[in-house]
Amino acid sequence: MINLTIEEKKVKVKQKIKLKKILSEVDLDIDEIQQLYTPKSSEILKKIFEIKGGVNLHTQENLLDETMLSNFLSKYNDNDVFYFILPEVSLGNQYYETSLPILVLEKWKVNKILEIIYLNKVDFISIFSLDFKSGIIVNGYSDFPGEENNYYDGQVYDYYLVNC
């Protein structure tokens, strides 16, 4: 795992603040967990993608974002309601992280993912593998115990397979 510099950590925090501001302007039904959202259409995903400044064809990361977003929209666009978990959440693999959300159609599947996160006191996660047929492998991260900051410090927890 690549360690982030202090400046990179600050950028991540600023991105999260910007994302929360945009989400506050979107009409959402917020679940009692307050990390589980029920959008009525795919418009929220488009807004999430827009905050990244669109697609920069010169960066592999943004191309991956575009591909993943396209797959998400094609899978979920025909449904009136779907669930997703927002940051602190990151999707990607061991080489790359993106701010696109975890999406599922059944609420119990999202609750299963959240249960894993809460039981292990993880405050930042990334998706190591995203395969809707076999499941999701969740890689958890957390600050050092007792350390009061908003930055991910590189502490890596175990991988968990969530069959969706």
Q: What is the pLDDT of residues 17-27, one digit of tens each?
A: 555 555 555 55
pTM over 0.85: no
Q: In the prediction, which pLDDT does 82 show? A: 52
Give, to the nearest 10 degrees, the angle between helix 43-50 and helix 6-24.
Answer: 140
At position 92, the amino acid (one-letter code) is G
Q: What is the pLDDT of residues 3-47, one digit of tens each?
A: 555 555 555 555 555 555 555 555 545 443 344 444 444 455 555
Cα distance between residue 23 and residue 47, in whole Å? 8
Q: In the prediction, which pLDDT does 135 show? A: 46
Strands 36-38 and 29-30, how do they pair? antiparallel
